[in-house]
Amino acid sequence: MSRKPKQAPRKHPIDRRVISDFLPPEGVPIRFEVASIGARFGAQLLDILLTGLIVLTLFVLLIMSGILSIEITIAISALLFFALRVPYYVVAELLWNGQTLGKRITGLRVISGDGRSLSAYAVTIRNMMKEMEVFVPGVYLLAAPALDGWTQLILLVWVVILLFVPLRSKRNRRLGDIIANTYVVNLPRSVLLPDLARTIAQNKVSSEFTFLPHHLDHYGRYELQTLETLLQVNMNKLDPAARDRHVKTIFKVASTIANRIEFNEVIPEAKTRRFLESFYHTQRAYLENRKLFGDAREDKFHKTDA
Amino acid sequence: MSDAFLMRSARFRKEREADWKRLEALITRVEKRGLNSLEFEQARDLATLYRQAMNSLSLAREISLDKSLLFYLESLCARAYLAVYAPQESLRGLMARLFIYGMPGAVRRCAPQILIAFLTLGLGALAGYFLFVEDPTWYNTIMPPELADTRGINSSREDLLSVIYDSERDALAAFTAFASFLFSHNTQIAIFIFSLGVLVCLPSFMLTFYNGLVIGVFVALHIDRGIGYDIAAWLSIHGVTELSAIVIACAGGFTLGLAVLFPGELTRGEALRRSGRDAVKLAILAAIMLVVAAILEGFFRQIVQNPETRLIVGWGIGGLWLAYFLLVGHKRPGTS
């Protein structure tokens, strides 16, 4: 058996739960987070419950009001239940830009796989397939005890296949999604934390410690951004125990970095954080500069010329 | 302090941050209340700011290692994309397009499949008829019991006639019949015939053929009792529309199945996606025709008792369908 030669020493595992090659017409790829199967199941369940509840309330109100006879009320409710299946989902996803009531509550959204806007056709076909994927098995499952053995077996196989498709599919797509070329994603939330480089520059921290080029050749993007995450933690929001832990982590990280880059000055205990901030600032400026010159360093395993 | 002390990526961020915040406020508004809630200036700004943000994102990926900035821009652009590229068409416009261009066009394009489906149904009916002629007990084998209700091989001519000319149902019963019809046999069959077409046509073919068989033995039973004309009229009033609907659903299934069988130069998935466009329109058309058939069956079959009128109404509506398929929506606006 032939083996491929070993590639680069380490690669960050590609996250299967993220769509990173989604290309809008502007030509800049953007990222979407794929909705989990649990969230999608929840949204579907909420949709069924909510719409069912609406029809049920209407039904009870009609009966209580006594305007129409019971047979007609039943007939109207039956028609409404029919409209609740495919038409409700199609109209809701068209009018609310890829969201139904359940998806609104769980924060999910349907997007079109080709980077254009969601077409009426895509919405229609993905929800027509829902008839085969969700409602028909669902209705038969409720009636399962009354069915004969063969029908139960076929039903079981059908349900297992249907469950298997989104589990095996790379981006949790069900059959309808695959045919319509749509994805269901989490609605992104945007939080903008302050720019560390700016706060550090404003506090004039950067001039306290001096780093030389050989100090800065050790780390790459990954370590820099991990350090950023650590420094972005808001100490005031932590409870005392967590704050203690955080302070200890800062000490540990600082000593590890100092060892690794062979920084020989003594770092006073009170200035540990300042040391890290200063290092972050200088390291980021250095790495960004290297990147501009075509030497993008992914992590500490990068190759240096030296 | 002056910007000169800031590194390049921090300056980049400082200069643009206000615009991003403005874009975020606009998007939040669109997400909550829809694109229509924006003023003209706001809508114009949304488009400009969106493009700027996209620009910033692609630039930031090159020059900045600021993780919080990158994450923020990624999510901001994703949200802005969703807000800007929302489906713009109104429901009414969509419906008009579907009825005027979409469905008749799909029928014309899928004419071969529809013909095959018609032949399948016809073959089934012929086979059913001859089977009955050979041995009437085939009726019990072929006819599903829930469809036959009281009509079996032991029914007399008078029993059958009384079902055909039964005027005792009032409007209420008619409406209930209509509602229950929607969930009944034919709608189920149409759904199955359509969606099983994906499995290389075979299930669609078998189900349509079987449906033909049922009609064949049913008609044969009545002809045997000498009331062929009456049953033809009774079936025609809704059957012309209803059987056409089943045939169209079957043609939709065939379209999908043919794409799987003969994808040509495309991959199977791609072929399926392309033929899906017409197939879906056929399925919607079949659903609408089934509703029309249900109204005809629920109301008119009881009101109209005269076999000649029944024939005229049934085939007249069939002719209207044909005219709709053949004549409507040949020219699209904007195409010469």
Position A2 pLDDT exceeds 50: no
Whether B67 sits inside 8 A of A228 (CB atoms) is yes
Residue A239, phi-psi category: left (phi > 0), alpha (psi -120 to 50), beta (remainder): beta
Q: Which residue of A has its CA nearest to B63?
A: A288
The alpha carbon of residue B64 is apart from the nearest alpha carbon of chain A, in Å, by: 6
Q: Which residue of B has its CA nearest to A227?
A: B67
Q: Which residue of B has its CA nearest to A76?
A: B179
- Over range B35-64, report the average pLDDT: 91
Position B121 pLDDT exceeds 50: yes
Instruction: For residues B276 and A126, give the distance between their C-alpha atoms in angstroms, rounded to a whole number.
Output: 11
Whether B7 sits inside 8 A of A125 (CB atoms) is no
Q: What is the pLDDT of residue A1?
A: 40
Q: Which residue of B has its CA nearest to A179?
A: B273
Q: What is the pLDDT of residue B55?
A: 94
Q: Which residue of B has its CA nearest to A22?
A: B78
Instruction: For residues B41 and B76, give the distance between their C-alpha atoms in angstroms, rounded to a whole number.
Output: 20
Q: What is the pLDDT of residue B335?
A: 45
Q: What is the pLDDT of residue B180?
A: 61
Percent of chain B beyond pLDDT 90?
26
Instruction: For residues B28 and B38, give the distance between their C-alpha atoms in angstroms, rounded to a whole number.
Output: 11
Partners of A230 on chain B (C-beta within 8 Å) are none
Angle, in degrees to the nearest 10, between helices B157-164 and B228-261: 70
3-state secondary structure of A18: strand
Residue B244 near residue B289 (C-beta atoms within 8 A): yes
Shortest CA distance to A184 belongs to which of A140, A255, A118?
Answer: A118
Which two structure tokens, joined as six digits, stand for B76?
Answer: 């901001």
pLDDT confidence of A106, banded at 50, 70, 90?
Answer: very high
Residue A143, phi-psi category: left (phi > 0), alpha (psi -120 to 50), beta (remainder): alpha
Partners of B5 on chain A (C-beta within 8 Å) are 201
- Give burial (CB, 10 Å; 0-12/13-18/19+) of B59: middle
Position B266 pLDDT exceeds 50: yes
Which two structure tokens, joined as six digits, stand for A176?
Answer: 């309808």
CA B257 → CA A77, A187, A221, A230, B122, distances in Å? 35, 36, 51, 56, 20
Whether B284 sits inside 8 A of A124 (CB atoms) is yes
Position A5 pLDDT exceeds 50: no
Whether B87 sits inside 8 A of A118 (CB atoms) is yes
| Amino acid letter, B277 | R
Instruction: For residues A133 and B53, give the distance between their C-alpha atoms in angstroms, rounded to a whole number.
Output: 39
Instruction: For residues A216 and A140, give the distance between their C-alpha atoms in angstroms, rounded to a whole number.
Output: 65
Chain center to CA of B176: 24
The alpha carbon of residue A53 is apart from the nearest alpha carbon of chain B, in Å, by: 20
Whether B68 sits inside 8 A of A201 (CB atoms) is no
Q: What is the pLDDT of residues A239-293, one digit of tens each?
A: 888 888 998 999 899 989 988 888 888 888 888 888 888 899 889 999 998 888 8
Q: What is the pLDDT of residue B230?
A: 84
- What's the angle, vertex CA A73, arms to CA A69 and CA A78, rounded to 5? 150
Strand partners, A110: A184
DSSP A106-147: HTEEEEETTSSPPPHHHHHHHHHHHIIIIIHHHHHHHTGGGS
Instruction: For residues B288 and B282, give the distance between their C-alpha atoms in angstroms, rounded to a whole number.
Output: 10
Instruction: For residues A36 and A42, give the distance between their C-alpha atoms in angstroms, rounded to a whole number.
Output: 10
Of B75, B91, B182, which to mutate for an interface test with A (greatest number of A Cβ within 10 Å)? B75
**Please, which residues have CB within 8 angstroms of residue A117's CB and are 6 or more apart in sequence?**
B85, B86, B87, B88
Q: Does B17 touch chain A (CB under 8 A)?
A: yes
Which B residues 75-114 touch A at CB under 8 Å?
75-79, 81-82, 85-89, 91, 94
The alpha carbon of residue A255 is apart from the nearest alpha carbon of chain B, in Å, by: 23
Partners of B277 on chain A (C-beta within 8 Å) are 121
Whether A188 sits inside 8 A of B89 (CB atoms) is no
A46-55, A162-171, A224-233, A254-263: segment of lowest average pLDDT: A162-171
Shortest CA distance to A88 belongs to which of A38, A39, A50?
Answer: A50
Whether A78 sits inside 8 A of B75 (CB atoms) is no
The number of residues making up chain A comes to 306
Whether B283 sits inside 8 A of A132 (CB atoms) is no
Instruction: For residues A47 and A57, give the distance between their C-alpha atoms in angstroms, rounded to a whole number.
Output: 15
Residue B232 near residue B143 (C-beta atoms within 8 A): no
The alpha carbon of residue B75 is apart from the nearest alpha carbon of chain A, in Å, by: 5
Whether B7 sits inside 8 A of A191 (CB atoms) is no
Question: B26-51 burial by CB neighbour count: b if 16+ within 10 A, else e?
Answer: bbebbbeeebeebeeebeebbeebbe
The alpha carbon of residue B221 is apart from the nearest alpha carbon of chain A, in Å, by: 30
Higher pLDDT, B269 or A56: A56
Whether A125 sits inside 8 A of B276 (CB atoms) is yes
The alpha carbon of residue B251 is apart from the nearest alpha carbon of chain A, in Å, by: 16
Query: If you average pLDDT over every residue of chain B, what do you get?
Result: 82
Residue A207 near residue A294 (C-beta atoms within 8 A): no
- Over range A200-210, report the average pLDDT: 75
Q: What is the pLDDT of residue A7?
A: 45
Residue A22, phi-psi category: left (phi > 0), alpha (psi -120 to 50), beta (remainder): beta
Q: What is the pLDDT of residues B147-173, one digit of tens each?
A: 666 677 777 777 777 777 765 555 556
For chains A and B, CB pairs below 8 A equal 163
Instruction: For residues B114 and B108, give the distance between their C-alpha atoms in angstroms, rounded to a whole number.
Output: 9
The alpha carbon of residue A1 is apart from the nearest alpha carbon of chain B, in Å, by: 31
3-state secondary structure of A30: strand
Whether B176 sits inside 8 A of A72 (CB atoms) is yes
Whether B7 sits inside 8 A of A109 (CB atoms) is no
Whether B65 sits inside 8 A of A98 (CB atoms) is no
3-state secondary structure of B259: helix
| Facing A179 at nearest CB: one of B78, B79, B273 | B273
Q: Does B5 touch chain A (CB under 8 A)?
A: yes
Partners of B65 on chain A (C-beta within 8 Å) are 221, 224-225, 284, 287-288, 291
Q: What is the pLDDT of residue A87?
A: 83
Instruction: For residues B69 and A10, give the distance between their C-alpha atoms in angstroms, rounded to a whole number.
Output: 26
Instruction: For residues B57 and A22, give the distance between their C-alpha atoms in angstroms, rounded to a whole number.
Output: 14
- Over range A63-92, report the average pLDDT: 76
Phi, psi values for residue A300, rounded to 5°: -70, -5
Whether A125 sits inside 8 A of B8 (CB atoms) is no
The alpha carbon of residue A221 is apart from the nearest alpha carbon of chain B, in Å, by: 7
Instruction: For residues A41 and A45, give the distance between their C-alpha atoms in angstroms, rounded to a whole number.
Output: 6
A60-74, A255-269, A291-305: segment of lowest average pLDDT: A60-74
Higher pLDDT, A145 or A110: A110
- Predicted structure pTM score: 0.77
- Give counts: helices (H), strands (E), chain A: 13, 4
Whether B9 sits inside 8 A of A284 (CB atoms) is yes
The alpha carbon of residue B40 is apart from the nearest alpha carbon of chain A, in Å, by: 20
Instruction: For residues A32 and B69, give the distance between their C-alpha atoms in angstroms, rounded to a whole number.
Output: 16
- What's the angle, vertex CA B327, arms to CA B322 and CA B329, rounded to 5? 120
Pairing of strands A30-33, A18-22: antiparallel
Whether B176 sits inside 8 A of A75 (CB atoms) is yes
